[in-house]
Amino acid sequence: MAYFDNNATTSISENALEVYRRALAEDWHNPSSPYRSSARIRAGMELEREELAKDLGLKKEEIIFTSGATEANNGVFAHFATQANAGLCCLVSPFEHPSILEPARYWFKDKIRYLPIDQEGRVVLDSIEKLLSENNICFVSLMAANNETGVLQPWKELAEICLSKGVFFHCDATQWIGKLPSDGFDLCSSFSVSAHKFSGPKGVGWFACKEPISMQLGGEQEMSKRGGTENYPAIISMLTAWKDVRFQLNSPTNRTEWRDQFEKSLINLIPAVKILGLNSPRLWNTSMFVLPDFENLSWVGKLDKLGFSVSTGSACSTGKAGHSGIAQSMGLSTSEVRRLIRVSSYWEHGESDWVHLLSAFEQVSKELHKEASYSSVISF
């Protein structure tokens, strides 16, 4: 498998695709309609919701199906807008996904406070009690795993602190769910998830919330918390993908070692490469690094020709130099941002895929240096 951009999106699994196709063809009725075909769909959806809630240690009523994480993240901030109007503050990390940071700026304006981070791009909780007590914080939001570097954040510890202080804690769990065990999310006041990060379809996810937050007005669907006809085929397909992936989450694996070996070999090959979050616990599938030479798009283009899809950062920041949230938070220069590459594997990758990826980097490195030496001869 040469697709190494799974933090941007994963391909839909065969099972999820089959269920999706069948439901599109057969179970297309509106789940809210008053006849049997709809009642059957409604009952199926509620059974699935119950099973999912059980997996996550939640109550069935605490799960709302959404169009994905962007909607859920926006919805939770919109809910807290009244608190912003009352002069209260929110506390977020500086490298949250734009679907957190932009609503935070929109609703809270100068009432945003930022969590401190270390040089690995990980939130530091040393001064959290002080931050919470001195800033009139009504709402805290921290992602579980960073989408760019894969660095795991201390979200469980922060959830516990917020719980003990009675402060609402939201976790953007988009990159964690489907890659690591889901225990502990019941500590969060709310969390958001996206199906296309774990081999489900795009445009569907869930928002789990302990409080009766209305995310979307204009309909009584989803217990009146999120108006709009439920996308049953996408929901059932997502939950098929979830059931398939959840069994893998606890299985012993040396996936981290394959990624680490790739990084060690990359350092041997290109000693000046800078790996972000190298000394932090990270998602087993992710590696993000600054290469010392040549713009990232030159690497990406040549790797693509060799059959390897890698990215220059998060899909949301691609093409916008300087817009990588983590790069900005970690103080990378504009020139470093232009040399950033992210590779992200998935469950189907084996050790040999990482080895082949390394060989591709080796070949591209040679080609780029050769071309650079030609062009310097020509310009001489």
CB of 164 to ligand PMP, least distance (A): 26
CB of 205 to ligand PMP, least distance (A): 5
Residue nearest to ligand PMP (CB): 68
Residues recorded for the chain? 380
Q: Binding segment for ligand PMP among 167-175, 282-290, 323-331, 343-351 (CB under 6 A)?
A: 167-175
Nearer Cβ to ligand PMP (84/234) = 234
Q: Binding segment for ligand PMP among 67-75, 86-94, 235-243, 280-288 (CB under 6 A)?
A: 67-75
Nearer Cβ to ligand PMP (41/75) = 75
Size, binding site for ligand PMP by CB under 6 A: 14
> In which region does residue 134 sit, left (phi positive, over 0), alpha (psi from -120 to 50) or beta (all else)?
alpha
Q: Does residue 143 interact with ligand PMP by CB under 6 A?
A: yes
Amino acid 115 reads: L
Q: Does residue 175 interact with ligand PMP by CB under 6 A?
A: yes
Residue 180 to residue 314: CA distance in whole angstroms: 20
In which order are the strands placed within the sheet that holds 286-290?
Answer: 274-275, 286-290, 340-344
Residue 52 to residue 208: CA distance in whole angstroms: 10
Which residues have a Cβ under 8 Å from the Cβ of 46 and sit 6 or more positions away?
A: 60
Q: Does residue 147 interact with ligand PMP by CB under 6 A?
A: yes
Nearer Cβ to ligand PMP (72/303) = 72
Closest CA to 180 of 138, 227, 219, 144: 144
How does DSSP assign 241-291, residue by residue?
HHHHHHTTTTS---HHHHHHHHHHHHHHHSTT-EETTTTS-B-TTEEEEE-
Give how far Cα 31 sits from Cα of 35, 61, 64, 207, 229, Å.
Answer: 9, 17, 14, 19, 8
Written as six digits, the tokens of 69 are 């994480």
Q: Select the residue interacting with ligand PMP from 23, 45, 52, 69 (CB under 6 A).
A: 69
Cβ neighbours, 10 Å, residue 40: 13
CB of 310 to ligand PMP, least distance (A): 16
Nearer Cβ to ligand PMP (221/318) = 318
Binding mask 296-325 for ligand PMP (x = CB under 6 A): -------------------xx---------
Query: Cβ distance 38 to 24 under 8 Å?
Result: no
Cβ neighbours, 10 Å, residue 306: 15
Nearer Cβ to ligand PMP (70/231) = 70
CB of 193 to ligand PMP, least distance (A): 8
Residues 199-228, interacting with ligand PMP (CB under 6 A): 205
Q: Binding segment for ligand PMP among 37-45, 169-177, 269-277, 355-363 (CB under 6 A)?
A: 169-177
> In which region does residue 66 sit, left (phi positive, over 0), alpha (psi from -120 to 50) or beta (all else)?
beta
Q: Binding segment for ligand PMP among 62-70, 154-162, 246-254, 342-350 (CB under 6 A)?
A: 62-70
Q: Does residue 148 interact with ligand PMP by CB under 6 A?
A: no
Query: Cβ distance 20 to 371 under 8 Å?
Result: no
Q: Does residue 68 interact with ligand PMP by CB under 6 A?
A: yes
Binding mask 91-120 for ligand PMP (x = CB under 6 A): ------x-x---------------------
Contact positions vs ligand PMP (CB under 6 A) = 68-70, 97, 99, 143, 147, 172, 174-175, 194, 205, 315-316
